[in-house]
């Protein structure tokens, strides 16, 4: 069935470096993609989203890239900080009339001081 | 402002008992979602309410699971005759009508012994 998956379950980066978290999606009918950050014991927190008519969107220290040709999504975090340590989830939506999100399994980002 | 709240934060129950989980969405949000997150996994869609429309129940795993939303605000997720495989964190999210961006509560951790 349709699924959203991640290439790397754990990513370890040095504080100050840039982080790239990747995600593959399988439903070409999806028209909305979103990244969430989840810290231990908390609910997911919105980071950034992108619609299928765009290929790049920038926020504060974060950039999301969408490659519809290969159905690939990535989250780039600039100058990674210890507070960025968390599990990151990508999700897709819009493949039907519902706004429900289909989530990937998550990538844990560890920031080394 | 107040975010999505959920209660209880933790619930331990014996196998075979019924449980009720509560969600208070953000004021003004007409859409409400329930998701389930098993240990170390991504979020699994359960059910979606939008205004007065019939809910999308396509994600409910069995007929032991049900949910209602009273007055277009508070929602209750009920699990009857709980099983050990029901142990998970149950997350609620809300959003404005016709908007993909969902805001999550902290979740209820359910443990079935």
How does pLDDT run across A54-93, given as a tens digit for each residue? 999 999 999 999 999 999 999 999 999 999 999 999 999 8
Query: Residue A97 above 80 pLDDT?
Result: no
What is residue A43's predicted lDDT score, i.e. its pLDDT? 93
pLDDT confidence band for B58 (50 / 70 / 90): very high
Among B41, B39, B38, B78, CA closest to B57: B78
What is residue A88's predicted lDDT score, i.e. its pLDDT? 96
Number of Cβ within 10 Å of residue A83's Cβ equals: 9
Q: Provide the CA A38 distance to its chain's centre, in angstroms.
A: 11
Least-confidence region, from A11-15, A26-30, B64-68 = A26-30
Report which DSSP code applies to A105: -
A73 touches chain B (CB under 8 A): no
Which residues of B touch chain A, with CB atoms under 8 Å apart?
A: 4, 31, 33, 35, 40-45, 48, 50, 56, 58-59, 91, 93, 95, 98-107
User: Buried (b) or exposed (e) across A20-53, using 16+ Cβ within 10 A?
Assistant: ebbbbbebeebebbbbbbbeeeebbeebbbbeee
What is residue A6's predicted lDDT score, i.e. its pLDDT? 43
What is residue A1's predicted lDDT score, i.e. its pLDDT? 36
Which residue on chain B is closest to A101 by alpha carbon?
A: B45
Q: How many residues does chain B have?
A: 113
Q: What percent of chain A has a predicted confidence (pLDDT) above 90?
A: 73
A101: chain B residues, CB-CB within 8 Å: 33, 35, 43, 45, 100, 102
Residues with Cβ within 8 Å of residue B77, at least 6 apart in sequence: B20, B21, B23, B34, B46, B47, B65, B66, B67, B90, B92
* Cα torsion B74, B67, A91, A96: sign: negative
Point out the residue among B31, B42, B100 whose CB comes nearest to the CB of A103: B42
A35 touches chain B (CB under 8 A): no
Point out the residue among A43, A46, A106 whose CB comes nearest to the CB of B106: A43
User: What H or E segment, with its residue span, contains residue A50?
Assistant: strand A45-51
Q: How far is B76 from chain A (nearest CA, A)?
A: 18
Report which DSSP code applies to A63: E
Report which DSSP code applies to A60: S
What is residue B51's predicted lDDT score, i.e. its pLDDT? 85
What is residue A104's predicted lDDT score, i.e. its pLDDT? 86
pLDDT confidence band for B1 (50 / 70 / 90): low
What is residue A95's predicted lDDT score, i.e. its pLDDT? 67
Specify the higher pLDDT residue, B95 or A9: B95
Among A66, A3, A109, CA closest to B44: A3
> In chain B, which ranges are continuous DSSP H helix?
none
If you average pLDDT over residues B80-101, what whole number do you get?
93
Rounded to the nearest integer, the mean pLDDT of chain A is 89
Rounded to the nearest integer, the mean pLDDT of chain B is 93
**For B1-113, where are the E strands, in sequence order?**
5-7, 10-13, 19-24, 31-37, 43-50, 65-69, 75-79, 88-95, 103-104, 108-112
């Amino acid at each position: 069935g349709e699924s959203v998956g991640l290439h790397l379950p754990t990513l370890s980066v040095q504080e100050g470096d840039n982080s790239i978290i990747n995600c593959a999606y399988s439903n070409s009918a999806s028209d909305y993609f979103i990244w969430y950050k989840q810290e231990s014991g908390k609910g997911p927190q919105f980071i950034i989203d992108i619609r299928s008519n765009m290929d790049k969107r920038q926020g504060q220290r974060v950039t999301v890239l969408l490659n519809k040709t290969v159905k690939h999504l990535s989250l780039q975090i600039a100058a990674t900080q210890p507070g960025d340590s968390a599990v990151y989830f990508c999700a897709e939506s819009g493949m039907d009339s519902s706004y429900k999100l289909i989530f990937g399994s998550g990538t844990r980002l560890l920031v080394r001081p | 402002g107040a975010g999505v709240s959920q209660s209880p934060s933790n619930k331990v129950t014996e196998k075979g008992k019924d449980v009720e989980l509560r969600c208070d969405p953000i004021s003004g949000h007409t859409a409400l979602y329930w998701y389930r997150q098993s240990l170390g996994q991504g979020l699994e869609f359960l059910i979606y309410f939008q205004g007065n429309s019939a809910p999308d129940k396509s994600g409910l795993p069995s007929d032991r699971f049900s949910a209602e939303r009273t007055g277009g605000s508070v929602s209750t997720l009920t699990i009857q005759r709980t099983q050990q495989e029901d142990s998970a964190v149950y997350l609620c999210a809300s959003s404005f009508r016709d908007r993909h961006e969902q805001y999550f509560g902290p979740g209820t951790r359910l443990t079935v012994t």
